[in-house]
Chains A and B, each alone.
Chain A
Amino acid sequence: MNEYILKHKVYLLLIIGFIAFVLVSVFTDYDAGCIIFKNHFWVFFTEMILFLPFMFVLIGIADVWLPREKVEKHIGKSSGIKGIVLVVLMSMAQAGPLYGAFPVAYLLWKKGTGVRNIFIYLGAFCTMKIPMLAFETGFLGLKFSLLRTILSLPVIIIIAIIMEKYFEKRGFTMYQL
């Protein structure tokens, strides 16, 4: 517990400060504080808390069951185009904000996914999630959505190849939390 507090002290101080600010705002009828909490923070918080814990449980379960050889074979370093198609499909099926994709990327890396595919996963997660595309089409039109998706894919793959080349000699690592 102490170790936890020490490790995250900066963030915890900010959180405590925010809670105090909101409480004071409520008791003094300070509008700004109430709006920040109710209209902004609470919306983000519920979005996060409704999916992140489940996702981490899934990541934990996948961590103990997913066989490294299988992952390495299908989306590992030498998996080629098939591997790219697989990671793109995988990320398209997901939802949620980008920070939810980082722990999944960590799991993928740990199980032997190639550097290129890690960044293709992140890129496709950013730009090609199906739930997001549906939403986007509704507000900006099919033409916009299609154009953006079609343009995004090659750009992401090129960036991922650049990242792969960059890390080839330097070595790539990720960190467990």
Chain B
Amino acid sequence: MKFLLIFSIISVVVSFIGSRDKTLQGIKKGLMMFLNLLPAILAVLILVSVALYFLPNETIVKFLGKEAGVAGYIVAASIGSVALIPGFIAYPLAGLLVKSGVGYPVIAVFITTLMMVGVLTLPIEAKFFGLKTALIRNALFLLGALMIGLAIGLIYSL
């Protein structure tokens, strides 16, 4: 975060020395894009916040628990695909899952789908790619995430 901040400031200063007009034009362009994306992002963040309230960590652990079996994988892939959980929440949660006895294969499916598939962020993605492309990307990435997750599971069970 700090790095990005410093890097942006340096870039703007260098750009300004290069050309005042171009810099202002660039900043305007960037901020316009930001403002046009902001409502969709805020809406997604609101939905995620409400969803997380109704699905606290303890509930997720219960659903993914040792006894969950195949259902555990399906729940892991579903939560992972739909949710938008930042790494600083997802990894502590994954660590908690390991400690409460959830196997690495299920965690692998959860983490890979979480990172690669974004159902809740589809409206944002569709703004840039169009709905069709966004759907294709998510479908293929879901397949890929499942493959990676299961492969990790296989290796861990050797």
Which A residues contact B (CB, under 8 angstroms)? 4, 7-8, 10-12, 14-15, 18, 32, 35-37, 39-41, 43-45, 47-48, 50-65, 95, 97-99, 102-103, 105-106, 119, 122-123, 126-127, 132, 135-136, 138-140, 144, 147-148, 151-152, 155-156, 158-159, 162-163, 166, 172-177
Contact with A148, one of B1, B127, B137, B148 (Cβ below 8 angstroms): B148
Is the pair B36, A148 in contact by a Cβ cutoff of 8 Å? no
Contacts of A172 in B (CB 8 A): 133
Is the pair B94, A63 in contact by a Cβ cutoff of 8 Å? no
Is the pair B147, A41 in contact by a Cβ cutoff of 8 Å? no
Which residue of A is nearest B118, CB measured?
A98
Q: List 30 A-B contacts (CB under 8 A).
A: A8-B39, A10-B43, A14-B46, A15-B42, A15-B43, A36-B53, A37-B49, A39-B53, A44-B49, A54-B8, A58-B4, A58-B11, A59-B29, A60-B25, A60-B29, A60-B30, A64-B23, A97-B84, A99-B124, A102-B129, A126-B116, A127-B115, A135-B87, A136-B87, A138-B91, A144-B152, A148-B152, A156-B144, A158-B144, A163-B137
- Write the nearest CB–CB distance from A100 to chain B, whole angstroms: 10
Is the pair B33, A102 in contact by a Cβ cutoff of 8 Å? no
Is the pair B124, A54 in contact by a Cβ cutoff of 8 Å? no
Contacts of A177 in B (CB 8 A): 32-33, 36-37, 127-128
- Kindly state the separation between the CA atoms of A127 and B143 in the bound complex, as whole angstroms: 14
B71 at the binding interface (Cβ < 8 Å): no
Known: A139-B91, A159-B141, A175-B127. A64 touches B25 (CB 8 A): yes
- Write the nearest CB–CB distance from A159 to chain B, whole angstroms: 5
Cβ contacts B14-37/A at 8 Å (1 or 0 each): 010010001101111111111111
Interface size band for B: 35 or more
Contacts of A156 in B (CB 8 A): 144
Kindly name the residue among A105, A144, A162 whose own CB sees the greatest number of chain B CB atoms within 10 A: A144
- Write the nearest CB–CB distance from A6 to chain B, whole angstroms: 12
- Kindly state the separation between the CA atoms of A129 and B52 in the bound complex, as whole angstroms: 24
Kindly name the residue among A7, A61, A119, A144 whose own CB sees the greatest number of chain B CB atoms within 10 A: A61
Contact with B144, one of A37, A50, A135, A155 (Cβ below 8 angstroms): A155
